[in-house]
Structure 1
């Protein structure tokens, strides 16, 4: 976690998941809801309360309770929120700058996986719809866009089937398809 003053506090994956969920819903979450979203059927509200106590100690003044939610000052400050805000403002280049890695890629929590897919789909759709070959190339060069066959197809239409940039992304897409069946 990076604070506005530049101070950094390392987070465990679980705490990062909780903060991502808090940032995803302004109205907040009950301890039981968070427990289910983070731990699944085996989640206990008491475990979330312990994690929230530790998060609040590390991020003093940024998290409220009953329900658990980020303060107005903290809400929307995550990397994922910056990506979404840039897209909503029509600033796709800035969104791609802010979207340097998949959202909590090590997380297997279903709610985080859903947020990760939603974010990737939104960026990919916006970039493909932009009609900008440069933005599509940038997208295809990211981990998130490397398997976006639709983006490669749009790039081919924009640049032509003999363009070296298009051909390199097409070759990568075909290789990934062969290796992983994507």
Structure 2
């Protein structure tokens, strides 16, 4: 499916190729500045993330659907410089009529794949396209030179990021957790270990978030540290939260800012994060970014905004916050959900004792407003139907009974 607006911008920001695109543009500027010449950089699915070319050429290219966000995988567009390069994993050149789509037969396309220097995964395709009559015999060599520059920069950037994370996180995390810890790269290499040697130099396979049992029987907990893929590994046997209490606990009744307890640590969340966690707790099947944005910000909510909040929230929740769709993966307890569950079985006076106030009072997030109103209305009906006059008087006299807490 093509990408548009916020989805395109999010995909660009998330792409590891984002910071090498300027380098690629500069290195190929002379070869792509003339009429009928275009430069594309796609992601690993075949979406064109960036398109560079002279203005008139871009207008012509748009008619052939060669524009940012367009999908040019082999499944979507058949034989093409981008799609066939992705399918084969090797440089590929398509001449005019060899294209599957008739709209592209006026062009000759040359693609070369860019792989991650750490784990070898395919990141995307660099493609040089020109009018079929202006075929460039040296296009493959030019693109390969640019590709080598990009891969070299990706490797250098990875080393800089590893050094930055070591400086920023390791000492602080080791002191906070009081346990053995390590920083691990996406390919499983142990970048830093404290104390040295408590882990092998490389983990088996690619790191995956959550509890992991190593082949030798050692329990570890893996959590992502950065969007670039670096991971924090801690010794599972040393963490109370890992071995004893994996439950995430949420308290939001009567609180403008929710309290969450995660692996023995208590956090006070900001308003937006409180709303997001409450909504994900209520919808355990998860929500995509568009649906969650509407529940938090209303109909005009932008997925890219809620994704940014979720990225920051991950620093607190770690592997417990999964994506596609966004959801909470661990066992969870929430005061508002527990109260709602017990409405039919618990005495009315006990229910009131457990209700210090509405869910996240003051929140205007549409999804939270709905949850808050629903719980308050169900509690009102339960109290008024209990036949306990004293409890009814207590409810009617409470400040949060007015307007049912909405």
Return the TM-score normalized by structure 1.
0.71
* Number of residue-to-residue matches in the alignment: 146
The CA distance in 2 between the partners of 1:18 and 1:60, in whole Å, is 15
Q: Residues 111 and 2 (structure 1 numbering): CA distance in 2 closer, same or farther, change over 3 Å?
A: closer
**Which residue number in structure 2 is paired with residue 60 of structure 1?**
318
Q: Residues 123 and 6 (structure 1 numbering): CA distance in 2 closer, same or farther, change over 3 Å?
A: farther
The CA distance in 2 between the partners of 1:143 and 1:69, in whole Å, is 34
**Which residue number in structure 2 is paired with residue 82 of structure 1?**
338
The CA distance in 2 between the partners of 1:70 and 1:110, in whole Å, is 20
Greater than 4 Å deviation, 4+ residue runs: none
**Which residue number in structure 2 is paired with residue 39 of structure 1?**
297
Q: CA deviation at 1:118?
A: 0.6
The CA distance in 1 between the partners of 2:399 and 2:373, in whole Å, is 13
**Which residue number in structure 2 is paired with residue 95 of structure 1?**
351
Q: CA deviation at 1:17?
A: 0.8
Structure 1: runs of 5 or more not aligned: 149-182
**Which residue number in structure 2 is paired with residue 170 of structure 1?**
none
The CA distance in 1 between the partners of 2:390 and 2:263, in whole Å, is 34
The CA distance in 2 between the partners of 1:31 and 1:88, in whole Å, is 34
The CA distance in 1 between the partners of 2:288 and 2:403, in whole Å, is 36
Would you say 1:18 and 2:290 are equivalent positions?
A: no
Structure 2: runs of 5 or more not aligned: 1-258
Q: CA deviation at 1:60?
A: 2.7
Kindly indicate which of the two structures has a greater share of residues assigned to helix: 1
Q: Residues 142 and 43 (structure 1 numbering): CA distance in 2 closer, same or farther, change over 3 Å?
A: same
Q: CA deviation at 1:147?
A: 5.9
Q: CA RMSD in A?
A: 2.0
The CA distance in 2 between the partners of 1:113 and 1:38, in whole Å, is 10
Q: Residues 95 and 7 (structure 1 numbering): CA distance in 2 closer, same or farther, change over 3 Å?
A: farther
Kindly indicate which of the two structures has a greater share of residues assigned to strand: 2
Kindly indicate whether the alpha-carbon contact (under 8 Å) linking 2:296 and 2:366 is maintained by their aligned counterparts in 1. yes
Deviations 1:8-53 (A, max 9, x none): 2121111111111111112111111011111123311111111112
Q: Which structure has the larger Rg over C-alpha atoms?
A: 2
Q: Residues 89 and 72 (structure 1 numbering): CA distance in 2 closer, same or farther, change over 3 Å?
A: farther
Matches within 5 A, 1:27-176: 27-74=285-332, 77-146=333-402
Q: CA deviation at 1:56?
A: 1.9
Kindly indicate whether the alpha-carbon contact (under 8 Å) linking 2:286 and 2:325 is maintained by their aligned counterparts in 1. yes
The CA distance in 2 between the partners of 1:63 and 1:91, in whole Å, is 35
